[in-house]
Amino acid sequence: MSGTTSRRVLVLNGPNLGRLGSREPEVYGATSYAGLLQECTRLGKELGFEAEVRETNDEGEMIRWLHEAADGSLPVVINPGAFTHYSYALRDAAAQRTAPLIEVHISNPYAREEFRHHSVIAAVASGTVAGFGIGSYRLALRALAEELNG
């Protein structure tokens, strides 16, 4: 990003992502949530973003954050967690986006249980990055920078 102004970006994480590092490390890796926060903040600064990383187990709170993003034209990187597969309310909130929104997943949902193969968010997202561990967030933030800088 040019100049000294830093653009605010929301990095939103859904259910159980606050347990990274201890939750099924064979699927989600050994990086803790604090490590994820640190990596997103570091890379965000490198790309000219102020990456604001949040996590919630509450669907209503996630919807309010998406409304905040839409109202403020804030770009979003979102890992909806289990909400990915069934939350039409979250999908409807994401559809109101006024800036790029990138869906991200640590694991590859298509290599897992059948119920994880469908995302209600994907159709309203700018794009999806999945299967690269914590690197999925790095790829999503870089894609977001490219999308914004055209």
- Binding site listing for substrate: 79, 85, 92, 106-107, 116
Angle between helices 135-149 and 33-47 (to 10 degrees): 20
Catalytic residue among 28, 67, 117, 137: 28
Cα-based torsion angle of the residue sequence 3, 101, 38, 72 in order, rounded to the nearest 10 degrees:
60
28 is catalytic: yes
Pair of tokens at residue 31: 């990086």
Binding residues: 79, 85, 92, 106-107, 116
d(CA 51, CA 84) in angstroms, rounded, equals 22
Instruction: Clarify whether 105 is annotated catalytic.
Output: yes
Cα–Cα distance for residue pair 18/75, rounded to 1 Å: 21
Catalytic residue of the set 105, 110, 118, 137? 105
Catalytic residues: 28, 105
